[in-house]
Amino acid sequence: MAVRVDLNVSLDGFATTTDQTPENPFGDDWPRLVAAYAATRTFRSRVLGDDSGAGTTGVDEKYAHAYFEGIGAEIMGAGMFGLHQFPDDPQWRGWWGDEPPFEVPVFVLTHTARDSIEFANGTVFHFVAGSPEEVLPRALDAANGGDVRIGGGIDVVRQFLGAGLVDRVHLAVNPLVLGRGERIWDGLRGIENGYDVESEVAESGVTHLTFRRG
């Protein structure tokens, strides 16, 4: 029943990228920021549907595997679901496609009431209003003994971290300097207090940083 955060960040702490364009919807920075994660066997299987067994099997894979383990529900901001792009279209089912990779109840933070959306693979999006303290019990209840992930965006993650509601933070720190975007650390001076911090370096050069409630 832990509340968890998992993010890829740059050396300078940016967890978002800013060079997306209509022609290049992911930009050039995002693929670089998530390259080591996207190369893992778990990502290829779970997100890309490639069950050939291809993908890395080292330290990055260990964390990628753990990423999906034990999650019973997820909380995300409206932007991560896609509501900022299609706020007025009640038929919009998010930008996660027909098989959203969550496979658990997902609580999308929004002030606009919407019907829940259910997918065949177990993903159900619920649209809820409220503070982190108000929404978290609903997600924990839905997680049915599993963990709750705070998925994003970065502002949502910072709110839950700042409110002291997160038990475990895993950051994959990628060896690049982005220089712009949203920083995970802003407003979180002293956040290390109350956590044990561990680091592990992967073959890819990524440093996996884990904060665990001490």
Q: Give contact residues for a copy of itself (rule: CB under 8 A).
A: 11-13, 173, 175-180, 183, 185-192, 197-201, 205, 207, 209
Cβ–Cβ < 8 Å for 196, 48: no
Q: What minimum distance in Å lies between the beta carbon of 97 and a copy of itself?
A: 32
Tell me how far apart the terminal alpha carbons of the chain are, to the nearest angstrom.
16
Q: How far are the Cα atoms of 3, 68, 213 from residue 165, in angstroms, in the given order?
A: 7, 20, 10
* Shorter beta-carbon distance to a copy of itself: residue 32 or 46: 32
H or E, element range at 132? helix 132-143
Among residues 47 and 66, whose Cβ is nearest to a copy of itself?
66
Q: Smaller CB distance to a copy of itself: residue 39 or 176?
A: 176
- Is residue 131 within 8 A of residue 55, CB to CB? The reply is no
Cβ 187 to a copy of itself shortest distance, Å: 7
SS3 content of the chain, % helix, strand, coil (to 5): 25, 25, 50
Which residue's CB is nearer to a copy of itself, number 13 or number 100? 13
Smallest gap from residue 49 Cβ to a copy of itself (A)? 32
CB of 153 to a copy of itself, least distance (A): 18
